[in-house]
Amino acid sequence: MTDHEDRPRLRVAMVGYAFMGAAHSQAWRTAPRMFNLPLAPEMTTLVGRDEGRVAAAAENLGWSSIETDWRRVIERDDIDLIDICTPGDTHAEIAIAALRAGKHVLCEKPMANSVDEAERMAAAAGAARERGVRSMVGFTYRRVPAIALAKRLVEQGRIGEVHHVRAQYLQDWIADPKAPLSWRLDKQKAGSGALGDIGAHALDLAQYLTGDTVVEVSGALRTFVAERPVASEHAGLSGTASSERGPVTVDDAASFLATFSKGAMGVLEATRFAYGRKNALRIEVNGSKGSLAFDFEDMNVLEFFDAGEPSDTAGFHRVIATEPEHPYVAGWWPPGHGLGYEHAFSHQVVDLVSAIAAGCDPTPSFDEGLQVQRVLDAVETSSASRAWQTVPA
């Protein structure tokens, strides 16, 4: 274990403790032990509405204390950073209040449930930035070493000018019509369905890898199952369901064409109805000098095609992104010992803590989160109007 006694503390409060809360907790526990961080994160407080449940979660996940009201945490002087892992309908209120109180903020994606909320969050982040308060959106897949390596290759010009981007996020966890309702299927809580939940990741990666932004879209949304069983109390997604049924108010699948500002063409898809695909976040970028391809279900591999190679030996090279020269990998295991889903969250902590210590803005910023929200909104509008939509600058 690294000795952090001589380093300034970064006292963290996390709001929410379900799936994302567990992933973030693991990252806050692990990153300081595997990386030489300039600040020493302390898992000070876990926040949840149910005192019994949040107390049990805090003990299990490693938090020192609990609160049942996030407002009290924001008022406390012993908290430096608020980590928001709640459903999307609460992001704006918590983030804005935290930033105004001088707390750094890490907010899970999608940043908000609407463009209006995202605009207010970005404005609050801009005002806080002037006071040295930092904010970041949790588009965690940027921190997968193979993806970060792909970004490096694009920046080095290895695939030349980008012509095409194809991005998919395929899951199947609600493909069964008997799967019960959850908050992710409620528009008031989630904002949107597959589009915002997983399509936001595909969109962010498409823009991150290319260093470009989507300026025009033509999209379609579809809900395949309009009603679902209401889950029994305390049952999870795979738990038992009652005979009562309720409406699904979000999209089950989304697809859209995209035009990038520098002229590249994009095709993006997000669905939770792709049987057999558990977490297939895929992206391929074709340029004037070569191509890159990635699939999260084989997350330690990046495929790279160099069009300058002789045709008799040319082909996609399978790069195992586990060498110490690859992004983030030097902090972990010997070459060939692969990383997993949870490691990207630790890398997120590393980048956020390092940026706060350096007095610079981490990425992706709330401005980037707002831009993603504007694209998602344009896709929804396009689906409803059946027409191309320009994404506001």
Q: What is the pLDDT of residues 46-76, one digit of tens each?
A: 999 999 999 999 999 999 999 999 999 999 9
Tell me the per-residue pLDDT of 160-189, one tens digit each, with 9 for 90 and over. Answer: 999 999 999 999 999 999 999 999 999 999
Model pLDDT, residue 9: 98
Confidence of residue 235 (pLDDT cuts 50, 70, 90): very low
Stretch 347-366: mean pLDDT: 98
Model pLDDT, residue 71: 98
Give the separation between CA 369 and CA 372, rounded to whole angstroms: 5
Question: In the numeric block, which tokens belong to residue 253?
Answer: 């699948």
* Closest alpha carbon to 9 in 65, 78, 73, 101: 78
Mean pLDDT of all residues belonging to the chain? 95
Tell me the per-residue pLDDT of 126-165, one tens digit each, with 9 for 90 and over. Answer: 999 999 999 999 999 999 999 999 999 999 999 999 999 9
What strands lie across the sheet with 9-15, from one edge to the other? Answer: 65-67, 40-47, 9-15, 81-84, 104-108, 135-138
* Closest alpha carbon to 17 in 47, 41, 42: 47
Model pLDDT, residue 231: 82
Stretch 225-233: mean pLDDT: 87
Tell me the per-residue pLDDT of 373-391, one tens digit each, with 9 for 90 and over. Answer: 999 999 999 999 999 999 9
Confidence of residue 5 (pLDDT cuts 50, 70, 90): low
Domain boundaries, the chain: 9-140, 144-363+371-385
Model pLDDT, residue 2: 47
Measure the CA angle with vertex 101, ends 80 and 29; round to 5°: 20
Task: Tell whether the torsion through CA atoms of 136, 360, 327 and 210 is positive or negative.
Answer: positive
Give the separation between CA 48 and CA 217, rounded to whole angstroms: 38
What does the DSSP assignment read for 322-372?
-STTSTTGGGS-STT----HHHHHHHHHHHHHHHHHHTS--SS-HHHHHHH
Q: Give CATH superfamily name and number for 9-140.
A: NAD(P)-binding Rossmann-like Domain (3.40.50.720)
Tell me the per-residue pLDDT of 202-214, one tens digit each, with 9 for 90 and over. Answer: 999 999 999 999 9
Percentage of residues in the chain having pLDDT higher than 70:
96
Pairing of strands 81-84, 104-108: parallel
Domain 144-363+371-385 in this protein, CATH class: alpha beta
Tell me the per-residue pLDDT of 236-265, one tens digit each, with 9 for 90 and over. Answer: 444 555 679 999 999 999 999 999 999 999
Model pLDDT, residue 236: 46
Stretch 307-321: mean pLDDT: 96
Question: In the numeric block, which tokens belong to residue 249?
Answer: 């108010």
Model pLDDT, residue 243: 78
Tell me the per-residue pLDDT of 92-111, one tens digit each, with 9 for 90 and over. Answer: 999 999 999 999 999 999 99
Contact partners, residue 138, CB within 8 Å, separation at least 6: 20, 24, 106, 107, 108, 109, 348
Give the separation between CA 25 and CA 381, rounded to whole angstroms: 36
Beta strands in the chain (DSSP E): 9-15, 40-47, 65-67, 81-84, 104-108, 135-138, 162-170, 214-222, 227-231, 241-247, 253-260, 265-271, 280-287, 290-295, 301-306, 317-320, 389-390
